[in-house]
Amino acid sequence: MLKTGDKKLINAWAFYDWANSVYSLVISTAVFPLYYTAVTKDKVVSFLWMDWEHPDSLYSYALSFSFLIVAFLSPILSGIADYTGSKKKFMKFFCWLGGLSVMSLYFFEGVDTVWIGIVFTILASVGFWASIVFYNAYLPEVAHPEQQDRASAKGFIYGYSGSVLLLVINLVMIQMPDLFGITAGMASRISFVMVGLWWVGFAQVTFRRLPDDLYDKKPEKDYIWKGFKELKLVAKQVANYPTLKRFLISFFLLSVGVQTIILLATIFGSTELGLETIDLIVTVLLIQLVAIAGAYLFSRMSDRKGNIFTLKTTIVIWMVVCFCAFLLHKDLPNVAIYFYSLGAILGLVLGAIQSLTRSTYSKLLPETENHATFFSFYDVIEKIAIVLGTAVYGLLYAITDSMQWSVLALALFFLASFIIISTLKKTKYVQ
């Protein structure tokens, strides 16, 4: 078995990002939301014995529901993983759940099968985010504290590289379906199958190397609900570590902004700015490509300047992006170029802030063998932040009939996060 700190083990762990990031790019961000909108545009959709005149809202509710499920499941799953030493088994299960659910989206052909799209969107989201809980929990077990910034960044770099590669292939199919003798709709549906196969297939590289039970734990009784008990204990422990507590508050606030923007950026571009589908997909590609360089550059900056300084820098850039997006409107000349520019800036800090928050949290953890429970706590905080962010965004949009005010409100969450993170005291590994 490979030992903690071994480059082969770190590379294998990071490779799961290569496998699963195609879901977050192709399904969550680019192809599926646009396919869903095209299928349901100007139509009334029936789901759960209700008629939905605004199908986009149904899709948003489905995502929110999936995040609530994960927030509820995380403590149970982490408790099982920590008390039975079976992180890899559960990571595998949710990987397969996500992969097979994504492939099942192939059967979402039209308005009559919207229920397939909604149900498997929820299951795929649960599979993806639940597997990430266990994936993140492996970080302290595969890399030493001084290696974790670069290991975390390497994962995001792998993820952006792999997802861009598959998205380009899918984009060629969708834009030039005649070359393959299919329709654009069929090309999108085939891309869903490709995402599932890619995710499950490449994940086997990771599963082959990851240790299954590093601490040789034996199953205990009543371990299913111990996750919630452990979560309470973690909350009490966090209260005894002021730096960790403040970091988590800052992380919650920035997650409200980061995750909401990731989920709704294409909707903002389409609805608020009236951009074409190709403009939106090109922007998404640009974000991913720049994010590869951004994750690398900011991991180097954290080596030299420390995590706190680097995180503060990324938060400031996020605030600038929100303010600039607030100033955009569809009547602005060359609005697509401005949107591309914002996408490039966003890409620079997207991977950086996700990578740095993960590694910083890992470094701030007290000595423990229950990494899954601590990362479950981290994950629950992120999911609640997503629910709050999407709710605030949607509420302001409903009140003002403009997404610009919603985007500006997200800047306030970043500002609050910046203020709190500025109060963090330096530790041995977090400077």
pLDDT score for 1 = 63
Instruction: Please spell the DSSP secondary structure of 23-85, one letter per residue.
Output: IIIIIIIIHHHHHHHHHHTT--EEETTEEES-HHHHHHHHHHHHHHHHHHHHHHHHHHHHHHT
Query: Is residue 245, in this structure, part of any structural domain at all?
Result: yes
Q: Are 358 and 375 in contact (CB under 8 A)?
A: no
Reading the block at residue 398, the tokens are 């409903």
User: When comparing pLDDT for 314 and 397, which is higher?
Assistant: 314
Query: Is residue 429, in this structure, part of any structural domain at all?
Result: no
User: When comparing pLDDT for 214 and 423, which is higher?
Assistant: 423
Question: What is the separation of C-alpha 384 from the centre of its chain, rounded to a whole number of angstroms?
Answer: 13
pLDDT of 101-157, one tens digit each? 999 999 999 888 889 999 999 999 999 988 987 887 788 788 887 787 788 778 878
Q: Are 143 and 151 in contact (CB under 8 A)?
A: yes
Query: Is residue 386, in this structure, part of any structural domain at all?
Result: yes
Query: Is residue 2, in this structure, part of any structural domain at all?
Result: no
CB neighbours of residue 82 within 10 Å: 26
Query: Is residue 215, in this structure, part of any structural domain at all?
Result: no
Rounded to an integer, the average pLDDT of 297-304 is 81
Residue span of the structural domain in which 80 resides: 7-210+222-421
Q: Are 212 and 89 in contact (CB under 8 A)?
A: yes
Q: Which residues does 88 contact at the CB level (< 8 Å), separation at least 6?
A: 134, 207, 210, 211, 212
pLDDT score for 18 = 92
pLDDT score for 214 = 56
Query: Is residue 66, in this structure, part of any structural domain at all?
Result: yes
Q: What is the pTM of this model?
A: 0.77
> CATH number for the domain including 277?
1.20.1250.20
Residue whose token pair is 């599926």: 32
Over 80: is that where the pLDDT of 416 sits? Answer: yes
Over 70: is that where the pLDDT of 429 sits? Answer: no
Calculate the alpha carbon distances from 295 to 155, 177, 345, 350 in Å: 9, 34, 13, 8
Query: Is residue 1, in this structure, part of any structural domain at all?
Result: no
Query: Is residue 426, in this structure, part of any structural domain at all?
Result: no
pLDDT of 165-218, one tens digit each? 998 899 889 888 898 899 988 999 999 999 999 999 999 999 998 887 655 555
Binning pLDDT at 50, 70 and 90, where does residue 44 land? Answer: confident
- Count the domains in the chain: 1
Q: List beta partners, residue 149.
A: none
